[in-house]
Amino acid sequence: ADSLGIPVNSLIAVLSVATLALSLALQNILTNVFSGITLLISRPFVAGDFVEIGGVSGTVKELTIMRTSLDTPDNRLILIPNADVSAAKIVNYSTEPLRRVDLTVTASYDAPTALVKQALLEVMHSDPRVKADPIPFAALSGYNANDIEYTLRCWVDNADYWPAHFALNEAVREAFAKYSIEFSYPHTVVHINKGE
């Protein structure tokens, strides 16, 4: 090129800039490809698993070299670059046969603790999806300004998680009505001192 009269220094500068631009453009692509290969080898999830990736939940539709596709419960398709997937915290809800249902309910301070716990345990024992082992659990878990907080925990088959979750919520309301346990609500107690 020098013998043809083409300035070599300018040609080298142009080629260097072009190479730098190309490498920057390919950086994200290569990162996604290598992340995709890592995910395909390590298999933290497979198609059909319900997962949470970086705060996004859905059923894995497809894992390709470049991206992961999730179908969300509200029928949206979300495509996540594999570089983001491999860097994020992945929670796979489908790998274990059982899943724990955790519910928190509140009741009035006037409701006896033993009665509330009895009602919550009855709710869990009456649902056929709830497993007897591990044993269902109900306990007083906190004191709030206007109510007492109770936690109930039980185990169900993974596929039954959401139906059991919603059914138990509804059954708690019915059990509280049966035992006249009052749900509390925000309120203010005012004391009036009568002058002498």
**How many C-beta neighbours within 10 Å does residue 68 have?**
26
Average pLDDT of span 161-170? 96
Q: What is the mean pLDDT of the chain?
A: 89
Which two structure tokens, joined as six digits, stand for 143? 């004191």
How far is residue 131 CA from its own chain's centroid?
A: 22
Read off the pTM. Answer: 0.70
Q: In what order do the strands lie in the sheet with 137-143?
A: 98-107, 148-157, 137-143
**42-98: per-residue pLDDT in tens?**
999 999 999 999 899 999 999 999 999 999 989 999 999 999 999 999 999 999 999
pLDDT for 196: 57
Residues in the chain: 196
